Amino acid sequence: MHDVKVRIAGLKVGAIGCNGRDRQHLQQQFARLGVAACFYDDFPPPAAFDGLQLIVFDGDNPQLFHPSHRLPWPELPKIVLTAMETPSRLQWIIQQQISGYLRKPVRSDGVMTALTLALAFDARQQALTAQLQQQDERLKARRFLFAAQLCLMQHLALGEEGAYRLLRRMAMRQQKTIEHCSIDLLANRQGYLRMAKALLEERDS
């Protein structure tokens, strides 16, 4: 997995339910770090999240907290502010799928660290999710590969290895992966069988 590079200056942050001194200190630290921030007293409508790259929210704010309710967050990294350590509060925070946290009261240090680690954690999670999805798609495609091989073996009297080599040639000819070529073959057997026969004749000539 590639190294994650995090840039704080120019970051666009939405801060929700942060009041009093915590809000004041966040505003000061964001200004110092070159972070553009929008503050919301209550949970904002979906349009407010457009263009944001990270969310900070006060997990102790009674207007946000509900022991069995996950807020309708967008797919953005989230940092929670909290001073409470009750089991129900911590369980609710876990349900919000946070990327980092800051202890209250917010102080002059720690904000940059929290932002950096949350962005890095989220980037790695996204990369891992994409990698797992890619592997899952390839595993599913393997079933089509086997079925396509079987089709070539049955119609062209080829062995397993010969069918695979022919399928690979067809994929290269069309600049496709062998898995995608297999899917297309099964969807258009007659057309691909004609192509396969032509390739065999081309090889034997």
pLDDT score of 201: 85
Say how far apart CA 194 and CA 205 lie, in whole Å. 16
**Contact between 26 and 56 (Cβ < 8 Å):** yes
Give residue-wise pLDDT tens across range 59-99.
Answer: 999 999 988 788 999 999 999 999 998 999 999 999 999 99
Quote the strand ranges of the chain, DSSP E.
Answer: 12-16, 36-40, 54-58, 78-82, 100-103
| Global confidence as pTM | 0.71
Of 117, 77, 69, 115, give the one whose Cα is nearest residue 95. Answer: 69
Q: For 41, how many CA atoms within 13 A lie in the half-sphere containing its CB?
A: 1
Give residue-wise pLDDT tens across range 154-183.
Answer: 999 999 999 999 999 999 999 999 988 999
**Contact between 119 and 6 (Cβ < 8 Å):** yes
Say how far apart CA 45 and CA 192 lie, in whole Å. 51
Least confident of 34-48, 83-97, 125-139: 125-139
Long-range Cβ pairs for the range 151-157 (8 Å, 24+)? 151/185, 151/186, 151/189, 151/193, 152/185, 152/193, 152/196, 155/193, 156/193, 156/196, 156/197, 156/200
Q: Across residues 22-40, what is the average pLDDT?
A: 96
Q: Which are the contacts of 178, defined by CB distance < 8 A and separation ≥ 6?
A: 145, 167, 168, 171
The pairing of strands 36-40 and 12-16 is parallel
Radius of gyration of the chain (CA): 27
Give residue-wise pLDDT tens across range 179-195.
Answer: 889 999 999 999 999 99
Domains and CATH numbers, the chain: 12-109 (3.40.50.2300), 134-204 (1.10.10.10)
Of 15, 41, 42, 44, give the one whose Cα is nearest residue 28. Answer: 15
Measured CA distances, 200 to 181, 193, 197, 204 (Å): 17, 10, 5, 6
Say how far apart CA 191 and CA 170 lie, in whole Å. 12
